[in-house]
Structure 1
Amino acid sequence: MDSWRTAISATLHCLTGCAIGEVLGMVLATWWGWGDAASIALAVALAFFFGYLLTFLGVRRSGLGIRQAVRVALAADTLSILVMEIVDNAFLLAVPGAMEATLRSGLFWGSLAVALAVAFVVTVPVNKWLIDRGKGHAVVHEMHGHAHGDSHEQKHGAGHRH
């Protein structure tokens, strides 16, 4: 699989965890009437939690122990989630009224959706850079043993044939 497709896949994975945490955090903070700083802190904490959790669960299913699965999740996702969170929260802060919008507001949901989309676009090249260096989600793809579309020799080694 080429590194751009892998980067897009990794970023979609990251986006899923970030979106779950970000939406849950923003919904709860808005519902509770929290200010901007507390809203962002909760959303970011939950984005990291759910981002790491999705990777952790995936690599655990592939047979890794808990300690190693935690290490892989931290190594694979930290920079990606960090970039995504910086970008989407900066975007939300830049949109007039977005942080004050209520849960019933189109501005709340629209700005959150656009913020996540912008963060995705910015994070894909970051993940490509990591993958090209054998870091980030390249490690996760190795753990799963699926290099989507790679030849049999690339998956199992040139000397291994059935």
Structure 2
Amino acid sequence: MNFCPQCAQPIAEALIDGEIRRACPDTECGFVHFNNPTPVVAMIVEVEGGVVLAHNVSWPRKFYSIITGFLEAGEDPLECAKRETLEELNLHALNTELIGVYSFPQQNQVIIAYHVEAAGEIKLNEELDDYKIVAVENLKGWNMGTGLAINDWVAKRLGAP
């Protein structure tokens, strides 16, 4: 952002509450760009046989992950989880459970993760071009973002301390 969205003045760095922020230099305008994280909902979608991992068309070929989607303004995170499961996989959420909330500073996101038991016939939307079903005991997360939710869910599911 180079210009203030309120008054069109060039944005500059300013010291605000002890932090350097990008802000409008016009004190009457008062705009401050706080760069708040974006809320993302992640779903560990479980179907018969395991968990759905999908490949996004823009990712490297070997990378698969759980389903994610951006939370819309005014949308309940649980409803977002159900909506994204239907939109991206054509699956209907039968049961849902909150796994946890995770910081993902690398992408400036906050991830709200759910376990979703789902049913139906998988039909991928235009964002995805492949998927695989992974047995719970073979599911392994990574040390950031949605991987943290996977690790927590698998540990709880398999009874790890």
TM category, shorter: under 0.3
More helix by share: 1
What TM-score results when the alignment is normalised by the length of structure 1? 0.23
What TM-score results when the alignment is normalised by the length of structure 2? 0.23
Q: Which has the higher contact order (CA 8 A, sep 6+)?
A: 1
More strand by share: 2
